[in-house]
Structure 1
């Protein structure tokens, strides 16, 4: 069952493939899935010799629908406990994106289907992102009463501030071609076969680089400037938590009940 193995990891020589594996939930990020992801990152941070490329993908034709809103809605405890849990969850999400970007390996996002919210964060934290024509991208948080707190710096880094600003405020869905136009992905391929071929060609090229030089190059890219100013991660986690215990109650309920939220006009 996918819930028993929410992250499928296989090694193909120097290439590690990690597939988010909750297709019945469009690979939404559960606590168990993220614990498995953090364990993989621990391994990769310590494995600079054997592992050289990480391909991040999703099972069942989906990439990742973002945070599992069912888990957000079911956070136990009183308001203060819920607030603390939301702060911790969002801070961990931001730290996870930073760890992915800082890996000594080259990270490739292979995207099919939806890459929404936190899923979009994974795409933008990767070094290279490729998709096929089924791919859809969105930062829908404001429509759920939440904020795109920890994905925002990564989307800005990938697309530039103007495009990111429109994405997180309008919260609409971009198709593969639109995502490629704004630089959200590096290339959009016509179908799954073409995507697989492009990923294989990319990985082959990446493996031609010396692993030490690749890691040093990534470190130099990071040294060009932080993805967000000091204090942003904590402020983002706090903002997410306030929304999660406030407007998101109505937003998540409306999403689950497939109805417009109370604040929607028109």
Structure 2
């Protein structure tokens, strides 16, 4: 039998991630647990609303590489610790004292990896379910939209705030457009406003809104049960057929998006936008 994709940390670890402060979150930015064929990946940086750090990204990449080879895993559930899903990129890792050339190269490489990560999630043979509570912003939308099925609690809030930070939504944009359609995605990324769960469901960003965390988990469990009724090979082939209906973006988009993100992340606008965000004030261009 193929080896498991990940080592389960036990029910107690999963319970901590769902309901409170997980232990050693700095050491475990992605908490992975497993019950039989069901793998749960919980983004585990609650003090930062589970913002995506370099360490969390590396943990994601390792998990996805394992799952791509694991024929015994059948479902992946993506969630966030302590009542939030993912607030997007950790902006403290965008600002730096590097030379402009070094910063440009680092941000381009990071954004390229981000885009590939969402593609890898979508391409998994397992059925991927996103369970969203609280903040689902920026890169968090990429995790939500690259999942096959997405559910949200009524507490969930969604936003693509990049332009308000002097950045661009480079690698989430194709996934948003595929999930919601280009018109709704356009408004979301240009207004950059926060929308509530009901509006997210109306535009197709999530498939269903549940009243609270308990109801959200009950729906996830019901969907897992339904998926496990399907044949593993047939489900994987069906996902392949869905992918064959058309590419997520044109050839060259991922590289162009990474370059655009790197340029903006290295700009004076980004420096001002990130500083304003940290200071909880409006940036100069909005004053």
Please tell me whether residue 260 in structure 1 is matched to residue 269 in structure 2. no
**Which residue in 1 is equivalent to 2:227?**
206
- In the aligned structure 2, how far is the partner of 1:67 from the partner of 1:114? 12
Partner of 2:270: 248
Counterparts of 2:196 and 2:35, CA distance in 1: 31
> How far does residue 193 in structure 1 lie from its aligned partner after superposition?
1.1
| In structure 2, distance between residues paired with 1:237 and 1:43 | 25
Taking the aligned partners of 2:215 and 2:103, their CA distance within structure 1 comes to: 45
Which of 1, 11, 16 lines up with 2:39 in the alignment?
16
Residues 220-250 of structure 1, C-alpha deviations (whole Å, 9 max, x = no match): 1000000000000011001101100101111
1:105-184 correspondence runs (5 A):
105-184=126-205
2:74 pairs with 1:46: no
Offset, 1:128: 0.2
CA distance in 2, matches of 1:253, 1:66: 16
Cα deviations by residue, 1:60-104 (Å, 9 ceiling, x for unpaired): 000000000001113x52101100001001000000000000000
RMSD: 0.7
Deviation at 1:116, TM superposition (A): 0.2
- Structure 2 unmatched runs, 5+: 1-23
1:217 maps to 2:260 = no
SS of structure 1 residue aligned to 2:189: helix
Question: 1:262 and 1:85 mapped to 2: Cα distance?
Answer: 26
TM-score (normalised: structure 2): 0.91
- Give structure 1 regions of 4+ aligned residues with deviation exceeding 2 angstroms: none
**Matched residue count:** 263
TM-score, normalised with respect to structure 1: 0.98
Deviation at 1:259, TM superposition (A): 1.0
**C-alpha distance after superposition, 1:141-188 (max 9, x if no partner):** 000000000000000000000000000000001101000000000000
67, 76, 81: which one aligns with 1:59: 81
The alignment status of 1:189 with 2:210, answered yes or no, reads yes
Q: Are 1:103 and 2:124 an aligned pair?
A: yes
Cα distance in structure 2, aligned partners of 1:160 and 1:51: 31
